[in-house]
């Protein structure tokens, strides 16, 4: 009786720890919605996860009342994972953050896949409900893993966009085969000797589907795809929570899945496109530049550093539009220094932030927060556009597609209908780029040839540092 009471007490403590973990996940996710509290929210959720992990290791008991015993393997996995994760997070540059997110997300999908494989192997004749969860978790986890690895390769340039002839039909056939095989396995319609082969066939087909699903999608749409795959991983993790009757795993999976889905919808809305169009439209792929790049744009004009300094020094208001070029050059600190010099001269400085600027949502916000730029100066797209007509100088730093007027003016453009930062409404537009090459979507930008636009070529960090030097001398 005393032993039973001890087990019940430990189980109550375990559930309480899981409750703490679930609550910290929810609070942490809420705090991630604002840059001022994002770091604290991340640490808060991590603390909850730590509590849940420690409680599971020392208090968890299986259906037979047995505690975990393979502590060496558990400790080894925790140590190795912690070291790899810490070193990777410290080493990664902000420009490579989307790649890291995609790769880590893929590891989550692989984990969910392995959980399903282990549970299927351990339970020879699982009940129908458990088998359903195992199969769904394996399918979703495998697709997320395979797709995330391809997305990682495309983001770092190791894998190019490839459209397979009849690819959509092939994907449909593979997906239909996955569904049919899954029904056969779950429903027990095949002989017990055949069922395992069908199960592992589902695994192989899901991996192939994940690869073919992501392969043709254009580079400009990768942030949407990563977010979608992230929601897949969350769902797969939630299935793992069902398998182990683990509330904190279930809560975490549901939060990741729902947050990823909402983020996917918001990004599609920011680009004025449907998710279906993203998945089959190949926006940003090889065909994307056909309509706009072939037009005769005319000539562009350059501006010198000294002229730029004079124009900005005597401006009433300067709006800086950051883009991926700013991140590549690691110029956020130089940008903040320029901002302080201009403010000392009585110039109002704000930042116009497009929802999909950079390579992932919030990319520019995090980049500027890294340089201690006040969050109050970061304007969302709608607010920035309202203030654009009262802006003396709009300075575009490495942004391209998010300021392209073709999104409003050219129905033949692949980005037509996408909301943009309407920088052409400012009195003067200065665009800093390394060259006249197209942006991530692979299309020409009409803005560069507008009469009020001046091009300031060069590496963003060096240009901003030199510009700051010029301003100090005025």
- How far from 321 is each of 20, 352, 463, CA to CA, in Å? 41, 5, 15
Q: Is 401 considered catalytic here?
A: yes
- What does the buried/exposed string (b/e) look like for 48-57 if buried means 16 or more CB atoms within 10 Å of the residue's CB? bbebbeebbe
Please report, in angstroms and rounded to a whole number, the separation of the first and last CA atoms in the chain: 86
Residues in the chain: 474
- How far from 442 is each of 221, 300, 383, 413, CA to CA, in Å? 12, 19, 28, 11
Residue 21 φ/ψ, nearest 5 degrees: -60, -45
Measured CA angle at 84 (ends 80, 90), to 5 deg: 145
| 393-397 vs 348-353, strand pairing mode | unpaired
Distance CA 264, CA 281 (A): 16
Distance CA 94, CA 91 (A): 10
The structure tokens listed for 336 are: 């903040």
Residue 351 φ/ψ, nearest 5 degrees: -125, 130
The structure tokens listed for 168 are: 């959509």
Closest CA to 200 of 175, 182, 212: 182
For 462, other C-beta atoms within 10 Å of its C-beta total 12
Residue 33 φ/ψ, nearest 5 degrees: -75, -5
**CB distance 419 to 272 below 8 Å:** yes
Closest CA to 405 of 339, 450, 466, 442: 450
Distance CA 205, CA 199 (A): 10
For 238, other C-beta atoms within 10 Å of its C-beta total 24
**CB distance 388 to 319 below 8 Å:** yes
C-alpha 333 chain-centroid distance: 23
Question: Of 161, 221, 401, 459, which one is the catalytic site residue?
Answer: 401
Distance CA 473, CA 395 (A): 20
Residues marked as catalytic: 401
């Amino acid at each position: 009786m005393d032993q039973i009471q001890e087990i019940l007490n430990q189980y109550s403590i375990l559930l309480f720890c899981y409750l703490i973990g679930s609550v910290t996940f929810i609070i942490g996710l809420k705090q991630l919605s604002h840059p001022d509290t994002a770091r604290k929210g991340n640490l808060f959720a991590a603390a909850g996860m730590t509590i849940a992990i420690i409680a599971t290791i020392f208090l968890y008991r299986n259906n037979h009342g047995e505690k975990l015993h393979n502590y060496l393997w558990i400790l080894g996995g925790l140590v190795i994972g912690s070291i790899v994760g810490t070193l990777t997070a410290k080493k990664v540059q902000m420009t490579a953050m989307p790649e890291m997110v995609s790769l880590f997300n893929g590891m989550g999908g692989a984990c969910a896949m392995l959980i399903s494989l282990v549970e299927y192997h351990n339970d020879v004749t699982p009940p129908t409900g458990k088998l359903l969860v195992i199969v769904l978790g394996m399918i979703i986890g495998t697709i997320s893993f395979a797709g995330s690895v391809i997305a990682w390769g495309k983001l770092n340039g190791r894998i190019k966009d490839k459209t397979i002839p009849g690819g959509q039909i092939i994907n449909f056939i593979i997906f239909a085969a996955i569904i049919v095989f899954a029904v056969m396995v779950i429903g027990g319609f095949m002989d017990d000797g055949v069922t395992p082969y069908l199960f592992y066939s589902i695994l192989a087909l899901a991996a192939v589907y994940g690869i073919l699903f992501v392969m043709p999608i254009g580079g400009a749409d990768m942030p949407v795809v990563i977010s979608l795959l992230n929601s897949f991983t969350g769902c797969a993790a939630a299935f793992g929570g069902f398998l182990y009757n683990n509330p904190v795993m279930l809560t975490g999976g549901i939060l990741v899945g729902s947050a990823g889905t909402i983020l996917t919808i918001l990004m599609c809305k920011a680009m004025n496109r449907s998710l279906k169009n993203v998945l089959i439209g190949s926006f940003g792929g090889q065909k994307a530049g056909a309509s706009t790049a072939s037009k005769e744009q005319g000539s562009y004009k350059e501006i010198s550093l000294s002229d730029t300094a004079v124009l900005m020094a005597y401006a009433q208001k300067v709006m800086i539009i950051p883009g991926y070029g700013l991140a590549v050059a690691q110029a956020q600190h130089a940008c903040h220094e320029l901002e302080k010099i201009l403010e000392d001269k009585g110039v109002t400085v704000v930042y116009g932030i497009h929802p999909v600027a950079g390579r992932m949502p919030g990319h520019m916000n995090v980049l500027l927060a890294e340089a201690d730029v006040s969050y109050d100066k970061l304007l969302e797209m709608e607010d920035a556009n309202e203030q654009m007509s009262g802006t003396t100088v709009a300075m575009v730093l490495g942004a391209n597609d998010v300021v392209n007027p073709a999104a409003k003016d050219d129905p033949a453009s692949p980005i037509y209908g996408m909301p943009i930062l309407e920088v052409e409404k400012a009195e003067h537009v200065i665009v800093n780029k390394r060259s006249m090459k197209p942006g991530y979507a692979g299309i020409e930008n009409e803005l560069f040839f507008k009469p009020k636009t001046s091009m300031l070529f060069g590496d963003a960090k060096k240009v901003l540092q030199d510009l700051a030097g010029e301003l100090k001398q005025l």
